[in-house]
């Protein structure tokens, strides 16, 4: 440990001399990122730390297991380091007399494909591209606010690779790039992508996209999608009435190795999709939606942030209870309102998405009988590392999807109570809008959200939200759909949103008929308790090899279900195989929305471009 006096001394030294971070990514193709962090120092005990709680991930997910080859030197002399026996992310050293700085060098090693899907679990580099979230390659003095630590970063890239980042460039010399000094907060908020196959697109003077891909062919985002994203920027600005970035960049990596995910930042987002995520029309339906979601986060999540997630450094625990606002209202405003208004998704596809969300939360979440929605947020850490099996019973990160219905419920209630004069558009402008600014964080609490809602339309919003979010509720707020003029129905026609979802995740979803979410090799990825498949004695983890005498395939499952006969399946678990009878004759079932005759169509009204 180090004393408060030592922390203050480091703070004073940092005023004179910023931290420097030199990343050598020339070995990225081999999965190695070499880094050297130079910190001002004084003789005596010193502690430095590796970022642990990562913004946007909301979890202690800093990839400490990939930090290898740690070496500390001062004035050419190697110093012994000791890891804190309790906090694996903290390191103590004794700085010798006369030393004014220490160099901490280590390698961040990119994990292999297939190890995991989160940031720091999937590869950061392929033979053709790299993703560099700076938190992977940084250590910093303990005890200081990261806003107060000035850093000067530089990177060496593989020869001839192009790059994109929101970080301002000070100097570029071939493949060596020096960035302007920024706070450590801004550095970690500004990842870099680089690659051999590169494309830049400008949507407006301020909003751009950089794409790196494993092949040139993958860069071909079609012109009509570019037009939709241009409209998205205009519709987002119209919704909020201001923005809180200087410039904004979608950073996109297209590779079958890096995993599919998106991570938000103030002035950029780190979007990773399958190699054909921009060129396969089915995958586009999902990837373009992710771009909308991450862009919305620049307002909701980065600028306005739950107080529990607005921590002073990366070591203090983040409290995720209000993620149903941070992620949940982004699901509503980004993945429903803006995705519709921009034309990024056609109205029919948006309604199919809403139908799937409502049905999935209603039918495939028996966990809602014990776990309130708020606990999926407060307990996100207990869900993040869980296996997929038993998701229906456990619940997942439901604060995303279910909040789409919660905020639709709020929106329709506002419109109804105000005679159509007020809506969530007014809340969005008041809470996230003017004046425009450079990146800054304005934290909020539950009471702040309630007060802002009351500023639009007076109501007991605290009770309204507590009923839907903090109580155990056997059903999601399906009344929101009816209030918007639509209702949830089921028939044998496939749901158009489930198609790309199943296709990209290699799954066959027959949960709404027999309760099984299959992997496309016949493995039962999850099974909903209380459904015919569960009653038959099947369980997640088993693999179905035959159905009614036919070898397992997605077509065989669908055709045998469509025949409305009971199913006899052979399923194995390890070395043991058994026969199971699923007593179900209801045919294939998929969710859709249907108009409620005679009721105003508020849903379409909300989806209309402004
Ligand atoms: Zn999000």
pLDDT tens track for 374-395:
999 999 989 988 999 999 999 9
pLDDT tens track for 64-116:
999 999 999 999 899 999 999 999 999 999 999 999 999 999 999 999 988 88
Report how far ligand 1's centroid is from the alpha carbon of 330 (Å).
7
Token pair for 481: 């759909």
Report how far ligand 1's centroid is from the alpha carbon of 262 (Å).
8
pLDDT at 115 (0 to 100): 83
pLDDT at 120 (0 to 100): 77
Report how far ligand 1's centroid is from the alpha carbon of 297 (Å).
7
The DSSP element (H or E) to which 403 belongs, if any, is helix 398-417
pLDDT tens track for 496-541:
999 999 999 999 999 999 999 999 999 999 999 999 999 999 999 9
Report how far ligand 1's centroid is from the alpha carbon of 493 (Å).
30
CB atoms within 10 A of CB 32: 17
Question: Nearest CA to 243 among 438, 382, 499?
Answer: 438
Report how far ligand 1's centroid is from the alpha carbon of 293 (Å).
6
Asked whether residue 483 carries a pLDDT value surpassing 80, the answer given is yes
Angstrom distances, CA of residue 198 to CA of 35, 218, 253, 312? 25, 10, 10, 36
Report how far ligand 1's centroid is from the alpha carbon of 264 (Å).
7
Token pair for 358: 């409502």
Arithmetic mean of pLDDT over the chain: 96
Token pair for 495: 């749901």
**What is the rounded CA–CA span in Å between residue 24 and residue 157?**
7
Q: How confident is the model at residue 121 (pLDDT cuts 50, 70, 90)?
A: confident
Question: Nearest CA to 207 among 253, 249, 169, 268?
Answer: 249
Q: How confident is the model at residue 10 (pLDDT cuts 50, 70, 90)?
A: low
Q: How confident is the model at residue 9 (pLDDT cuts 50, 70, 90)?
A: low
Asked whether residue 14 carries a pLDDT value surpassing 80, the answer given is no
β-strand pairing of 304-306 with 442-444: parallel
Report how far ligand 1's centroid is from the alpha carbon of 219 (Å).
24
Report how far ligand 1's centroid is from the alpha carbon of 275 (Å).
22
Report how far ligand 1's centroid is from the alpha carbon of 384 (Å).
14
Report how far ligand 1's centroid is from the alpha carbon of 471 (Å).
23
pLDDT tens track for 325-361:
999 999 999 999 999 999 999 999 999 999 999 999 9
pLDDT at 587 (0 to 100): 98
Asked whether residue 2 carries a pLDDT value surpassing 90, the answer given is no
**What is the rounded CA–CA span in Å between residue 338 and residue 354?**
14
CB 183 within 8 A of CB 175: no
Report how far ligand 1's centroid is from the alpha carbon of 4 (Å).
37
Report how far ligand 1's centroid is from the alpha carbon of 439 (Å).
18
Report how far ligand 1's centroid is from the alpha carbon of 57 (Å).
9
Report how far ligand 1's centroid is from the alpha carbon of 263 (Å).
7
Q: Which residues contact 333 (CB under 8 A, 6 or more apart)?
A: 239, 296, 300, 407, 424, 428
Report how far ligand 1's centroid is from the alpha carbon of 294 (Å).
6
pLDDT tens track for 240-252:
999 999 999 999 9
Q: Which residues contact 474 (CB under 8 A, 6 or more apart)?
A: 368, 369
pLDDT at 471 (0 to 100): 98
Asked whether residue 286 carries a pLDDT value surpassing 70, the answer given is yes
**What is the rounded CA–CA span in Å between residue 507 and residue 524?**
10
Report how far ligand 1's centroid is from the alpha carbon of 490 (Å).
29
Report how far ligand 1's centroid is from the alpha carbon of 321 (Å).
14
pLDDT at 16 (0 to 100): 66
Question: Nearest CA to 349 among 593, 605, 596?
Answer: 593
Q: What does DSSP assign to residue 195?
A: E
Question: Nearest CA to 429 among 233, 237, 229?
Answer: 237
Range list of H helices, 297-346: 323-326, 328-332, 339-341
pLDDT at 35 (0 to 100): 98
Report how far ligand 1's centroid is from the alpha carbon of 67 (Å).
27
- DSSP assignment of 519-580 equals ETTSBEEEE-TTSHHHHTT--TT-EEEEETTEEP-HHHHHHHHHTT--EEEEEEETTEEEEE
Token pair for 146: 């990261």
Report how far ligand 1's centroid is from the alpha carbon of 270 (Å).
11
Report how far ligand 1's centroid is from the alpha carbon of 520 (Å).
27
What pTM value is reported for the model? 0.96
Report how far ligand 1's centroid is from the alpha carbon of 329 (Å).
9
Cis before 435 (ω within 30): yes
Q: Which residues contact 16 (CB under 8 A, 6 or more apart)?
A: 40
Report how far ligand 1's centroid is from the alpha carbon of 266 (Å).
13
Name the residue with higher pLDDT: 82 or 10: 82
Asked whether residue 423 carries a pLDDT value surpassing 70, the answer given is yes
φ and ψ of 218, to 5 deg: -70, -15
Q: Mean of the pLDDT values across residues 428-434?
A: 98
Angstrom distances, CA of residue 109 to CA of 23, 64, 92, 217? 13, 10, 23, 28
pLDDT at 17 (0 to 100): 82
Report how far ligand 1's centroid is from the alpha carbon of 207 (Å).
19
Report how far ligand 1's centroid is from the alpha carbon of 48 (Å).
30
């Amino acid at each position: 440990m180090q004393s408060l006096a030592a922390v203050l001394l480091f703070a004073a030294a940092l005023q004179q001399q910023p931290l420097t971070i030199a990343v050598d990514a020339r070995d990225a193709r081999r999965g190695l990122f070499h880094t050297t962090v130079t910190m001002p120092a004084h003789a005596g005990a010193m502690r430095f730390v590796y970022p642990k709680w990562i913004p946007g991930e909301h979890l202690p997910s800093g990839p400490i297991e990939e930090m290898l080859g740690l070496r500390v030197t001062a004035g050419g002399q190697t110093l012994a380091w000791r890891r804190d026996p309790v906090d694996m992310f903290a390191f103590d050293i004794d700085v010798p007399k006369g030393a004014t700085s220490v160099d901490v060098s280590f390698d961040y090693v990119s994990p292999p494909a297939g190890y995991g899907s989160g940031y720091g679990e999937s590869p950061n580099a392929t033979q053709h591209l790299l993703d560099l979230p700076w938190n992977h390659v940084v250590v910093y003095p303990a005890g200081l606010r990261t806003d107060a630590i000035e850093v000067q970063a530089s990177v060496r890239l593989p020869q001839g690779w192009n790059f994109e980042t929101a970080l301002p460039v000070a100097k570029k010399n071939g493949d060596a790039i020096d960035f302007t000094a920024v706070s450590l907060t801004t550095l970690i908020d500004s990842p870099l992508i680089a690659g051999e196959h590169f494309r830049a697109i400008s949507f407006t003077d301020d909003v751009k996209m950089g794409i790196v891909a494993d092949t040139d062919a993958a860069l071909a985002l079609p012109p009509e999608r570019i037009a939709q994203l241009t409209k998205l920027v205009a519709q987002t600005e119209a919704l909020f009435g201001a923005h809180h970035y200087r410039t904004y960049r979608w950073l996109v990596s297209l590779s079958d190795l890096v995993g599919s995910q998106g991570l938000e930042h103030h002035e950029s987002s780190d979007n990773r999709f399958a190699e054909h995520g921009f060129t396969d029309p089915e995958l586009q339906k999902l990837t373009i939606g992710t771009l909308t979601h991450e862009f919305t986060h620049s307002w909701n999540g980065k600028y306005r942030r739950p107080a529990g997630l607005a921590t002073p450094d990366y070591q203090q625990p983040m409290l995720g209870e209000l993620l149903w606002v941070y992620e949940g209202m982004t699901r509503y405003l980004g993945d429903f309102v803006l995705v519709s208004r921009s034309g990024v998704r056609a109205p029919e596809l948006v309604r199919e998405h809403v139908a799937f969300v409502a049905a999935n939360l209603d039918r495939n979440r028996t966990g809602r009988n014990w776990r309130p929605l708020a606990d999926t947020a407060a307990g996100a850490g207990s869900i993040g590392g869980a296996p997929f099996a038993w998701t229906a019973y456990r619940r997942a990160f439901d604060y995303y999807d279910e909040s789409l219905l919660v905020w639709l419920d709020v929106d329709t209630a506002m419109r109804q109570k105000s005679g159509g004069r007020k809506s969530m558009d007014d809340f969005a402008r008041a809470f996230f809008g003017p004046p425009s600014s450079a990146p800054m964080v304005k934290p909020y609490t539950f009471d702040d959200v309630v007060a802002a809602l009351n500023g639009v339309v007076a109501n007991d919003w605290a009770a309204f939200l507590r009923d839907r979010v903090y109580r155990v509720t056997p059903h999601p707020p399906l009344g929101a759909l009816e209030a918007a003029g639509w209702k949830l129905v089921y028939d044998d026609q496939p749901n158009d949103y489930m198609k790309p979802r199943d296709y990209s995740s290699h799954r066959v979803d027959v949960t709404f008929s027999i309760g099984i979410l299959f992997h496309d090799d016949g493995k039962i990825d999850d099974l909903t308790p209380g459904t015919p498949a569960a009653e038959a004695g099947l369980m997640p983890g088993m693999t179905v090899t035959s159905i009614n005498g036919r070898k397992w395939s997605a077509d065989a499952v669908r055709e045998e279900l469509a025949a409305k006969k009971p199913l006899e399946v052979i399923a194995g678990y390890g070395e043991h195989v058994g026969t199971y009878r699923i007593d179900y004759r209801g045919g294939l079932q998929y969710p859709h929305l249907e108009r409620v005759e005679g009721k105003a169509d508020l849903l379409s009204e909300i989806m209309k471009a402004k």
